[in-house]
Amino acid sequence: MTSVPAARSLPALILAAGLLVACGGEDSAELLKDARAKLAAGDYKTATIELKNAVAKDERNAEARFELGKLYLAQLDLASAEKEFRRAREAGMAANVVNPMIARALLGQRAFQRVLDELPAAAGNDPDSITLQALRATAELGVGRKDDARKSLQHALQAAPDNADVHLALAQLALADKDPGQAMQELDETLRIDPRHRDSLLLKGDVLRTTGKPAEAAAVYREVLRLDPMHSGAHLALAGIAITENKLDDARQEVDSALKISPRSVQARYTRALIDFREKHTDRAHDEIASVLKAAPDYLPALLLGGSIEYALGNPQMAETYLNKVVAATPNNLYAVRMLAASQLRQGRMDDAASTLAPALRTAAQDPGVLIVAGEIALARKDFAKASAYFEEAAKRDPASAAIRTELGISRLAQGDSRAMTDLHAAAGMEGGSRAGTVIILSQLEDKQFDAALASIAALEKKQGPGAATWNYRGAAYLGKRDTARARDSFDQAVKLEPAFFPAAANLAQLDLADSQPANAAGRFESVLKADPKNLNAMLALADLGLRRRDEKTYVSWLEKAAAVHPQALAPRLALSRYLLAKGNRNKALAMAREAVDAHPDDPAALDLLGATQLALGDMPNAQGSYKKLVELQPRQPAPLAKLAAAQIAAKDLDGAARNLQDALRIQPDFLEAQLMLGGIEIQRTHFDSTLAIARQIQKQKPDSPAGFTLEGDAAYARKDYAGALSAYDRAQRLAPSGPLLIRELEVFTAAGRPEAGEKHLADWLATHPQDVRVRAALAESLLKRSQYRAASEQYLVLNKSAPDNLVVLNNLAWSLSEMNDGRALGYAEQALKLKPDNPTVMDTLGWILVQRGQTERGIKLLRQALTKAPDAGDIQYHYAAALAKSGDTARARLELDQLIKSGLDFSQKPAALSLMQTLNSR
């Protein structure tokens, strides 16, 4: 473990602080004096309290802030240390004194570029300036600028050959040169200058560790603890050795000791998360690393571990977000590059994965891990021969690796190569070859070789003993053999061995559901929760069961419990937000989406949902902001650009939307969603030739898809080329017959003055697709507009059977029946009003029917209420005037008609209104 370089031990730093100019009132100065006395006595806790009190009394006490910063630095609370050092500088402390300490805090956070950007090299040759030069050289090494670091250190060494920090940086340079022997010489020189130089001791321990001398390294770390029992970094270094040796209990003890000294130490909490991850407590590691990254969002080890955890949890998008930051900062980190490529591959983005891995393939083509990922990319591309070549090369480099031999077997399996099973069986016989055994079993299950799978399961159990997973596979094999009783017994054995083993519980639940026993299925997941009260999968499964039973209360309740128990979990929050959005509870959906983003500000799924919710609420600026952040997080993906474009279209920013869609198509030229959206924009902008060009491109790229011809038809329809539109829609229909296309055709036929032709096509479709509600509704509406009331009512009666409480269906059915003087009209209109008592259209329908049936008083009342709610609805005002005329109130009827006609409103019954006005005027 590389530690923060330090020029002096803590006592030396304390003495140096006495040379600084005092600042602040007497009370603050007295507290500072007390704190120094406590520090000298080794009472760091009381010293911290005294120093905090000192700066509380005098915010500009530079010395107190400097001392507090050093304490935080010693406790590895690096963010707090940086803040206090900066405040000391603001309060008047000399920059050449404070800047090296700020550099140490930043280096500890691995914020190398910030050291170089924010702390310019000092020109002098005094000890502090030389120390800063050495620390800047360390930062240059951190960002891969080895030659710059060498030049900086040559100058520093000439100016100060006995500066311990210079020799420490030279040791780090030697390590970058892959010369551990030279590094040890430099460290020995450092320790000759200052035998108590803790960071040199720590680096010496690190070098001993990396050169295969863990026992000697541990002795050095213990020497650091002898010199400074409160040095949490030494405990963490010892924890690192224990982790390497898989002595995780010992590692945890060392981390606990470090946390007692430095409760806010990012490194300690990171190491605890690493131990959890190694122990396969992945959810716990996930929560721990999330809190680390909240405190230190740029801490690269935590970002790397966070990416590994998200990948293990099946969240490749979030893994990519973390790993992108690591690779950007340390492009030569092979593990990070491999994980990033693997995360992109898991999302199905083979080209991005290949692009990410390409530099590593050029510079580290012999690395087995790089070769494995390259092979997996080739597998995903179905280039099995190339995959096998990569895996064969990796196997040569590491012949004892069961993992590599397994991948080779998988690639050969995909080619039908007879050597595949030989490879897999060979891997299964190696140490750590359980995955190969699992692949053999899964391959046999997939090939329906159930007896062979049972034999392989028995062989795997003989090697590693029975486990929940093998019993689960056995259950799957018996299911394949249609032996449900033995399958159920096998799954039961799995949960007896491991009561919280979710896959077996889920399989038992599926069997229960097949037997129409949903209560038993729920009991399976409740049993998992008894064994593991925080099991997220079980909670989500119980929510899903509630949804299956249409028990929305149970569904919501389990999602809320899951969200409460797992503050960092996205799945329950995303599900709740989507549910609330679907239910129209947009404000609560927004609150839940914000909660998801607050927990995971860089998670693409959370940002996507927040943007969608904001869009549904009509909050266009914030929706665009969310999608812009999504684009920043996934800069090489077309989908976020299309989502941003959708928000811009809703905000009427067609030019901005077009630019983003064009960017998306540069990334993926055949991205159909973006092509259709861009085509729609070009239609709105009357750029019909551009739309046609996009349509032709789609037709060429996807000759079997109706999308290109549909877009061509849309463009022709918009330019009123009805024959061209119908021809294009017909070609699309021949490729993939669909109801929506027929509805488009009806619109064109209607615009061309031939609605009957479009209605015939819809009627023919309904003869073979009677359940297509959307087509039937379009046909009914067209017939109603053409005053074909009998035919329209027949369609609406069918629709009312399938959707008895549909407001539009009831209202239009009532209207069409009333125009036929059918007595059933009143009943349907009353039903519609009961559903929506304040809807002006429904009031108008019922009011007019009542007037027609002689119930004038109630009819006029409803029509007046409807007109109040929709004062610009010409048809309603006409009905109201006609009702008044029928009641004998001709003066008011004439007044209403006069206002209506003079308003210039266009409405369907305008001829009838003019005729009535003429009749009233002639009286």
Q: Is the per-residue pLDDT at 48 higher than 90?
A: no
Of 380, 369, 280, the C-alpha closest to 333 is 369
Q: Is the per-residue pLDDT at 655 higher than 70?
A: yes
Q: Is the per-residue pLDDT at 66 higher than 70?
A: yes
Cα angle 513, 517, 521; round to 5? 65
pLDDT range class, residue 810, cuts 50, 70, 90? very high
For residue 280, the one-letter residue type is K
133 in a domain, yes or no? yes
527 in a domain, yes or no? no
Question: Do 153 and 204 lie in a common domain?
Answer: no
Of all residues in the chain, what percent carry a pLDDT higher than 90? Answer: 51
* Residue 471: Cβ within 10 Å count: 23
CA contacts within 13 A on the Cβ side of 40:
10
302 in a domain, yes or no? no
Residue carrying structure tokens 């046999």? 444
Question: Do 98 and 118 lie in a common domain?
Answer: no
Q: Is the per-residue pLDDT at 433 higher than 60?
A: no
Question: Do 178 and 201 lie in a common domain?
Answer: no
Residue by residue, DSSP assigns 263-323 as TT-HHHHHHHHHHHHHTT-HHHHHHHHHHHHHH-TT-HHHHHHHHHHHHHTT-HHHHHHHH
8 A C-beta contact, residue 73 and residue 102? no
Q: Each residue of 74-88: pLDDT tens digit?
A: 777 888 889 999 999
pLDDT range class, residue 401, cuts 50, 70, 90? low
CATH number where 265 lies: 1.25.40.10
| Claim: this prediction has a pTM higher than 0.75 | no
Question: Do 85 and 1 lie in a common domain?
Answer: yes
Lowest average pLDDT, out of 632-641, 682-691, 777-786, goes to 632-641
Average pLDDT over residues 812-820: 95
Residue carrying structure tokens 């000092």? 122
Average pLDDT over residues 248-276: 91
pLDDT at 738: 94
Please list, in sequence order, all residues whose beta carbon lies within 8 angstroms of the beta carbon of residue 448, skipping any fewer than 6 positions away. Answer: 480
CA dihedral in degrees (301, 305, 311, 317; nearest 10)? -40
Question: Do 85 and 138 lie in a common domain?
Answer: no
Question: Do 11 and 88 lie in a common domain?
Answer: yes
First to last CA, the chain: 104
* Residue 408: Cβ within 10 Å count: 30
Last-in-domain residue among 90, 109, 128: 109
Number of domains in the chain: 4
645 in a domain, yes or no? no
Give the DSSP H/E element, type plus range, for residue 443: helix 434-446
Q: From CA 338, how far away is CA 346, in angstroms rounded?
A: 12
Last-in-domain residue among 193, 221, 253: 193
Higher confidence at residue 90 or residue 231?
A: 90
Query: Could you tell me the two tokens for 755?
Result: 């609605």
Question: Do 200 and 140 lie in a common domain?
Answer: no
8 A C-beta contact, residue 675 and residue 697? yes
Q: From CA 434, how far away is CA 457, in angstroms rounded?
A: 11
8 A C-beta contact, residue 78 and residue 266? yes
Last-in-domain residue among 134, 160, 193: 193
Q: From CA 122, how far away is CA 918, in angstroms rounded?
A: 97
- Domain assignment of residue 229, given as a range: 195-279
* Residue 760: Cβ within 10 Å count: 14
Three-state SS at 333: coil
Cα angle 43, 225, 246; round to 5? 125
pLDDT at 122: 77
103 in a domain, yes or no? yes
8 A C-beta contact, residue 634 and residue 640? yes
Q: Is the per-residue pLDDT at 10 higher than 70?
A: no
| Alpha-carbon distance values, 87 to 110, 323, 333 (Å) | 21, 33, 35
Question: Do 104 and 125 lie in a common domain?
Answer: no
pLDDT at 11: 27
pLDDT range class, residue 143, cuts 50, 70, 90? confident
Q: Each residue of 703-737: pLDDT tens digit?
A: 999 999 999 999 999 999 999 999 999 999 999 99
Query: Could you tell me the two tokens for 806?
Result: 């549909």
Sequence length of the chain is 923
Question: Do 47 and 105 lie in a common domain?
Answer: yes
pLDDT at 398: 73
Mean pLDDT over the full length of the chain: 87
pLDDT at 396: 79
pLDDT range class, residue 627, cuts 50, 70, 90? very high
205 in a domain, yes or no? yes
pLDDT range class, residue 273, cuts 50, 70, 90? very high
117 in a domain, yes or no? yes
Question: Do 75 and 173 lie in a common domain?
Answer: no
Of 411, 409, 435, the C-alpha closest to 424 is 409
Question: Do 24 and 51 lie in a common domain?
Answer: yes
Summarize the chain as % helix, strand, coil (round to 5): 75, 0, 25
Lowest average pLDDT, out of 64-68, 337-341, 598-602, goes to 598-602
56 in a domain, yes or no? yes
Residue 652 DSSP code: T
Average pLDDT over residues 325-335: 89
Q: Each residue of 789-809: pLDDT tens digit?
A: 999 999 999 999 988 889 999
Q: Is the per-residue pLDDT at 463 higher than 60?
A: yes
Question: Do 842 and 859 lie in a common domain?
Answer: yes
Q: Each residue of 863-897: pLDDT tens digit?
A: 999 999 999 899 999 999 999 999 999 999 999 99
Please list, in sequence order, all residues whose beta carbon lies within 8 angstroms of the beta carbon of residue 37, skipping any fewer than 6 positions away. Answer: none
